[in-house]
């Protein structure tokens, strides 16, 4: 049985609270069970140097974790003087995923920076980040429309992310930490509301898994992401 009697096809209790930051143009506190990520979207009227004059905008992301977001304390990356490989990998994934859901030309020559900071971690921090960051990004885009800086939202797709994995031989949706650390395979999906693929990353832990298992993981992810997209829409309404 899963922790908290969860069914293998069920998400954890998820809450998405938009507009939590006093200063940011867009924000969302994204909670997937015990995983809590604060996502903010900051509009910057400067684009990176290599984009200047292109007439196009840019979306990028940074990811961090508070030192005591986890069971035992992790050293602070700022104190160590560099971001770890895992951090770099995750923030590149977040940025790439969101850029696939926005029309950078419609955004105009400006940049939106998404900061995803994990307050508390219990598995699935990267997917909770992407799901919350999309809300923050949407809110920031709406604000640009309100301010008359652009005429319509550049968001092209409703999308969210979720992890799946194979635990005790069973394909499960939205792993929490205790499951994740015992999984035979672990996969992260970024899909549109209707199941279009934006990004898939799947890894076997010790033993390869089959294409049939991969298909089942994909089915679970599509189910979960459809639900998440509804919650995102709710969060943006209120």
Site mask, its own copies, residues 135-174, x = CB under 8 A?
----------------------x-x---------------
196 near its own copies (CB under 8 A): yes
Q: Which residues pair with 192 in a beta bridge?
A: 159
Cβ distance to its own copies smaller for residue 91 or 127: 91
Q: Which residues contact 165 (CB under 8 A, 6 or more apart)?
A: 171, 172, 175, 179, 180, 183, 184, 185, 186, 187, 217
Parallel, antiparallel, or unpaired for β 14-18 and 26-32? antiparallel
CB of residue 90 to its own copies, shortest distance in Å? 10
Q: Does residue 206 bind its own copies (CB under 8 A)?
A: yes
Residue 165, strand partner residues: 172, 186
To the nearest 10 degrees (0 to 180), the angle between helices 85-99 and 125-146 is 40
Distance (Å, whole) CA 156 – CA 99: 10
Considering CB under 8 A, how many residues would be counted as binding its own copies?
A: 66
Q: Are 136 and 41 in contact, with CB atoms under 8 Å apart?
A: yes
Q: Strand 159-167 vs strand 170-173: parallel, antiparallel, or unpaired?
A: antiparallel
Q: What is the CA radius of gyration of the chain?
A: 18
Q: 46 to 75, contacts with its own copies by CB under 8 A?
A: 62, 64, 66-73
Nearest one of 48, 63, 56, 138 to 94, comparing CA atoms: 63
Q: Please report, as residue ranges, which positions from 18 to 47 form the binding site for its own copies (by CB under 8 A).
A: 21-24, 27, 34, 38, 40, 42, 44
Q: Measured from the CB of residue 194, what is the shortest distance to its own copies in angstroms?
A: 9
Stretch 86-125: interaction string toward its own copies, x if CB under 8 A: xxxx-xx---x---x------------x-x-x-xx-----
Cβ proximity to its own copies, 7 vs 92, nearer residue: 92
The interface region with its own copies, picked from 10-18, 145-153, 192-200, 227-235 by CB under 8 A, is 192-200
Residues that bind its own copies (CB under 8 A): 21-24, 27, 34, 38, 40, 42, 44, 62, 64, 66-73, 76-79, 81-83, 85-89, 91-92, 96, 100, 113, 115, 117, 119-120, 157, 159, 185, 191-192, 195-211, 213-214, 218
């Amino acid at each position: 049985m899963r922790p908290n009697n969860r069914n293998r096809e069920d998400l954890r209790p998820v809450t998405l609270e938009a507009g939590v930051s006093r200063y940011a143009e867009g924000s969302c506190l994204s909670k997937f069970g015990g995983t809590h990520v604060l996502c903010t979207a900051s509009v910057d009227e400067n684009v990176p140097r290599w984009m200047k004059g292109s007439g196009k905008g840019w979306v990028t992301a940074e990811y961090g974790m508070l030192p005591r977001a986890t069971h035992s304390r992790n050293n602070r990356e700022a104190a160590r003087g560099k971001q770890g490989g895992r951090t770099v990998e995750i923030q590149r994934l977040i940025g790439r995923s969101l850029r696939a859901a926005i029309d950078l030309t419609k955004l105009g020559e400006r940049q939106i920076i998404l900061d995803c900071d994990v307050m508390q971690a219990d598995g699935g921090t990267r997917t909770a980040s992407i799901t919350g960051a999309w809300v923050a990004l949407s809110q920031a885009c709406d604000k640009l429309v309100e301010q008359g800086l652009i005429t319509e939202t550049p968001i092209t797709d409703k999308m969210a992310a979720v992890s799946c994995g194979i635990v005790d031989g069973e394909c499960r949706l939205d792993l929490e930490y205790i499951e994740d650390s015992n999984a035979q395979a672990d996969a992260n999906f970024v899909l549109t509301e209707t199941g279009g693929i934006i990004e898939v990353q799947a890894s076997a832990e010790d033993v390869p898994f089959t294409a049939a298992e991969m298909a089942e993981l994909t089915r679970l992810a599509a189910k979960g992401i459809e639900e998440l997209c509804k919650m995102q829409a709710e969060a943006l309404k209120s």
